[in-house]
Structure 1
Amino acid sequence: MARDGARPAYDPAGHDTALRSALQELRAGRWMSMRTLLEQTTSWWQWTQRTQVLAASAAGTDVVRAWLAEEPHSAPALVMHARVVVERALRAHREGHHRTRELWLEAWHACDAAARIAPHDPVPWVCLLALARLDGEQSWAEHRVAPPEPMLPPGPWGLLAEAGKRDPYNREAHHRMLQFLYPRGDSERLAQAAGFAHWAAGSAPPGSALHVLPLYVRVERYRRSGGREAALDLHWVAEDATREARQAFHSWFTLTQNAERSLLDMNHLAHALWGALQFREAVQVFDALGPYWTPLPWAHRAAGPGDSQRAVEVFLQARARSRSAARGGGRRG
């Protein structure tokens, strides 16, 4: 458990020490540890998580290309190649780079190749879902499929279903779907994103990370308001906000172990419980985080999105207030 005043560290590997070791080797330009780690990964949720973190680190290097050159028929290498080129296409899109469409098409073909060589793997389909957000006009037919529920908008539902066939309730697949809905911008589309998050959480089994999805939408709504609301106003303490936070805590956090939890999910849950004045529960999540944190969602409480120093301070204040209130025996502190 981190001390009350101890500053947290951002580490994409979090509590996954084996992943941390592979990342260190990857940053040094070596791929053998990455291959060994992926060979030893037996669950789809961990495979999805590890390949995502590795790709984010590898995207600015040629490490995966070197692996693929040595083992051109390796399914893990082809899946990692798809991961990397998708990450590059998404970065180009965010930066408005002139090569975005070229990288997008390269990534699509890499995903298609990975799906063919690894037909039981959900990650190529998760990657295709990630690329769907680049099609802002939904010009591709696979990005405007009719939804499974009439209140939901058309979108890449077939891609989500393919990922779900291979790994039901895949966390990243549903987050990619949520990100597809976000860029639409207007309040109606944000309401549709909220509807999707609640639909996904409502259909997820106990212990699923999808129970945390509504907390992301609530943060996004706050972000779009420009953070004009007070730190602990009705946006965070309203009955539905409290219900969402407690539902995520009891239906996900209490039924899982740290090794299964995303650091980003835990930070969103700690943030939501603190905001909803559920301090005893918040302390349990802060304790589970230990020395780690993620800048989001805390950065949205800072003066500016790039104010990392202020984001850390918000995290520390939230953790300290939650622990103080919990020791005092009350929720409100």
Structure 2
Amino acid sequence: MTPPPPLGRSRNKEGPAFEAALDDHELATVRDALARGRWADARQLLARTGDDWDRRGHRLVVLAEGPTSVAWAREWQLAEPDSPDAAALLACATVARAVHGKDTPDAARALCLAAAAMAPRDPTPWLGILILARRTGTDGERVRAFDQVRARHRDHHHAHHLMAACLAEHQDGDRDDPLHEVYDFASWAAEQAPADSPLAVLPVVAHAERYRVLARAGLEPADPARSGHWGTRRARQVMKAAFDWWLEWDVDDGTAHPRRKVDLNFLAHAKLHEGRPAEAAALLTRIGPHATHAPWSYPDRDPRKAFRAARRAALGAA
């Protein structure tokens, strides 16, 4: 799963319209150009992105989602058959089609493997395989794809979000089990990540993903406000622990680093639900005009403390 995208204007009553490019204005411009066949703009964007693997993955996934992206990626590849960027875009675009049932998973996987062979250091083709495996593969295929991404970029943001989503979808029992593997995974990943990594908030993401699964199964209210989680003291403690650990402002201009904007959104919306609109407004102002929408709540629990306490209790009972 990618970080929650910005809240846009609703297209219908079903829900809000989301801007997949987030606050990457350059990406949004190039995506529109690619839709008109100007694949050279995509080539230049990816060349400038270099080996910033998190940004490269995000940009390729967004560019790949266009309905004509496969056609223009093929044209680019015909013009430059040795371009790993063209191969990666074609692979990701075919994955997007396969996820929506418009192409075969085997074809998408083959293109991802071909792109991976052209750029062995790039985790993005393996990210494509992970996206594909989430919808069409087995647990083993998802784990293997995640391991391949992590072998190339240990702290890959998108891949960790996807694995949290995959693990959260393992529906065991009829309640939110503090021993559920998604919490163990999120705590492990946060502990392994550098101090300034967005993965520090993965335990919070795990709660959001697990709540999504439980709500879809009818085990939690579809409206998180009815669940009571936002109003509890423990929910506030979960948020505070995550953000005290990770949040800091850039000293250059006093604004949030672009990669932190999405995660700052969670804190802003938590303050809204706590009835502290002035503090929320201040945070959203610092984030900028593309503040995002937090679609889910979080269970009433500190994930790391709850997991450890439950494990100690289980060991004691044994």
Q: Does residue 180 in structure 1 map to residue 166 in structure 2?
A: yes
Q: What is the CA-CA distance between 1:19 and the residue it aligns to?
A: 1.4
Q: What is the CA-CA distance between 1:68 and the residue it aligns to?
A: 1.5
Match of residue 157 from structure 2: 171
Q: What is the CA-CA distance between 1:23 and the residue it aligns to?
A: 1.6
Contact kept in structure 1, 2:168 and 2:206, CA below 8 Å? no
Distance 1:85 1:29 in 2: 17
Distance 1:27 1:89 in 2: 19
Q: Does residue 53 in structure 1 map to residue 62 in structure 2?
A: yes
Distance 1:296 1:106 in 2: 35
Change (3 A) 1:105 1:185: same
Aligned with 2:76 (options 67, 72, 76): 67
Stretch deviating more after TM superposition (274-283 or 50-59)? 274-283
Aligned with 1:286 (options 265, 284, 287): 284
Change (3 A) 1:60 1:77: closer
Contact kept in structure 2, 1:204 and 1:210, CA below 8 Å? yes
Contact kept in structure 1, 2:261 and 2:287, CA below 8 Å? no
When normalised by structure 2's length, the TM-score is: 0.72
Q: Which amino acid aligns with 1:192?
A: E
Stretch deviating more after TM superposition (194-203 or 182-191)? 182-191
**Cα deviation code 1:196-245 (max 9, x no counterpart):** 22222232222211122223333334441443677286412444422332
Change (3 A) 1:79 1:189: farther
Contact kept in structure 1, 2:39 and 2:76, CA below 8 Å? yes
Change (3 A) 1:273 1:163: farther
Contact kept in structure 1, 2:91 and 2:115, CA below 8 Å? yes
Match of residue 250 from structure 1: 244
Q: Does residue 268 in structure 1 map to residue 266 in structure 2?
A: yes
Gaps of 5+ in 1: 1-6, 93-98, 144-155, 301-333
Distance 2:136 2:32 in 1: 34
Contact kept in structure 2, 1:126 and 1:173, CA below 8 Å? yes
When normalised by structure 1's length, the TM-score is: 0.69
Distance 1:230 1:55 in 2: 32
Distance 1:247 1:211 in 2: 10
Q: Does residue 38 in structure 1 map to residue 36 in structure 2?
A: no
Q: Which amino acid aligns with 1:72?
A: P
Distance 2:36 2:113 in 1: 29
Contact kept in structure 2, 1:268 and 1:297, CA below 8 Å? no
Q: Which amino acid aligns with 1:18?
A: E
Distance 1:46 1:273 in 2: 29
Match of residue 83 from structure 1: 92
Contact kept in structure 1, 2:221 and 2:227, CA below 8 Å? no
Change (3 A) 1:116 1:137: closer
Stretch deviating more after TM superposition (47-56 or 73-82)? 47-56
**Cα deviation code 1:18-67 (max 9, x no counterpart):** 21221221122211111101001132221122112211235665222221
Match of residue 209 from structure 1: 198
Q: Which amino acid aligns with 1:125?
A: W
Gaps of 5+ in 2: 1-6, 10-17, 251-255, 298-318
Stretch deviating more after TM superposition (105-114 or 161-170)? 161-170
Q: What is the CA-CA distance between 1:255 and the residue it aligns to?
A: 5.2
Cα RMSD of the aligned pairs, angstroms, is 3.1
Contact kept in structure 2, 1:181 and 1:189, CA below 8 Å? no
List structure 1 segments (4+ residues) > 6 angstroms apart after TM superposition.
Answer: none
